[in-house]
Structure 1
């Protein structure tokens, strides 16, 4: 297993972090990052959202380390330093959502070589929440699962949903799968969107943290999703909604200011999930792990309490 670049100049995480390259069965190179903790209570498998990358979760790893857990995060195919899968590397793209499960299985197969022993727990955000839920159905070996703003559906106006299905399907069918989705841009969201109008966080310092990372290492960044990604995301979230909840203790955390994923779908899922609970965070937006100190403390306290209550 070869070492991979890790940008400790931007992560603000625990000392000793490092990264490694993994090779998928379909020939792609993925990057994983590890923030080790001595005598850890367990390892948190952190599944990032669309556009995200390992170093963005350095502060989250610090918060988890303070609660006794080490963190392992992944750059999904098509983003971060992992191999890009679109002709334009600035676009968020995937051939099919099932491909992300290849990434998950590649990560799991590498755990022994990465020195990961003991119990594992899932912490999944946004698109990572869809990937993580599917992985639970495929027997992801975790003791419990926490989700922040999981993308179990995309927030769309009812009149726009059939249009989104139609145009994404047509683009895929007529040879334009890598066309940019309507209303999105190929450049990085945090660099073109003013803080006052952003949908991610209410905390200016955390928004600056993300901006500093984007400016320091633009090679980590991607922009908007392709039509193919949109079509696959709509199809995957529809299919997941039709499945019964997996038999894993779970927690979902949502901000009351959520506007990217469907809060309604999360409520429906958690309500029907035996052994699961939903925590609302007043005023928070999409990224509760990137909010101010009080919200972050609440978020990680809730995650740690779930993990602590389900040891190996």
Structure 2
């Protein structure tokens, strides 16, 4: 089961390393277009990898377009492997996790269950902690049998990836059309990067994983500084779930960008400036400079 990763050395004497953990359906190149360069300009080495089932990592189903996973613990094991074999032996310290959406959720779980590992701090951007229509999704999953022939179907209302269906006017992840088109350029350059909707199985495991995070004492195990950034106009993740979550962290800080949509790092210059100010505050606190 090959997993794909990328590494960028710092441009000068490294201030540390940032590990970029992407969201569902994303891939290394999406962040390499702009975010990685901004991190390099700040003096950090950068590491990133494609989650199993997306990007150019192994895809578990014969139909590559289906976003599927057997258990979220598989994602956690893949992250642990990446950290143990690539990041821990090679990364200049300190190491900071920069995670988006699903990547935030998986990192959060791994830190709670396996410890902080090489990380000295983490940014959870629009973390997947509760979905906007989660109650409806749970109701549907309750009546669907948990057998492969059903689990491997697309979730209702989703389907295969269609590039021509990506209309900016109807998107709900960013206000910035130029950055929205970055992703399309990569899909055109390498169609293997595209991913369709999630399967029923992925959705079932996502709901179970979000439930696991709510267990008493679970998040309280995370012992590094965490900055959680909420997108006030998020239409995928329920932002109301973030405040109570941060309150459970030993060293948690909550910052909301009220006019941002889900993909904060792909937003307008104005919104991204607020994000980078928050990033710089956290890293200055970790580095002491």
- TM-score normalized with structure 1 length: 0.85
Write the distance in 2 (CA, Å) between the matches of 1:275 and 1:109: 24
- Given that 1:171 and 1:179 are in contact with CA atoms closer than 8 Å, whether structure 2 keeps it comes out as no
Write the distance in 1 (CA, Å) between the matches of 2:224 and 2:141: 31
Write the distance in 2 (CA, Å) between the matches of 1:145 and 1:191: 36
The runs of 5 or more residues in structure 1 that have no matched partner are: 1-27
Where does structure 1 differ by over 3 angstroms across 4 or more consecutive aligned residues?
Answer: 112-115
Pair 1:191–1:280, CA change in 2 (3 A): farther
Aligned 1:293-308 pairs, distance under 5 A: 293-308=269-284
TM-fit CA distance, 1:274: 3.1
Aligned 1:1-312 pairs, distance under 5 A: 28-37=1-10, 38-58=12-32, 59-111=34-86, 115-137=90-112, 138-141=114-117, 142-156=119-133, 158=135, 160-167=136-143, 170-173=144-147, 175-188=149-162, 191-242=164-215, 243-245=218-220, 246-311=222-287
Count of aligned pairs: 281
Pair 1:83–1:72, CA change in 2 (3 A): same
- Given that 1:47 and 1:128 are in contact with CA atoms closer than 8 Å, whether structure 2 keeps it comes out as yes
Residues 124-171 of structure 1: per-residue CA shift (max 9 Å, x gap): 11110110101111113200110110001222164x14423314xx24
Write the distance in 1 (CA, Å) between the matches of 2:138 and 2:150: 19
Cα-Cα RMSD: 1.9
Greater fraction of residues in helix: 2
Write the distance in 2 (CA, Å) between the matches of 1:218 and 1:193: 14
Find the residue that maps to 1:310 and give its secondary structure.
helix
Find the residue that maps to 1:94 and give its secondary structure.
coil
Write the distance in 1 (CA, Å) between the matches of 2:52 and 2:158: 20
- Given that 2:98 and 2:124 are in contact with CA atoms closer than 8 Å, whether structure 1 keeps it comes out as yes
Write the distance in 2 (CA, Å) between the matches of 1:80 and 1:162: 28
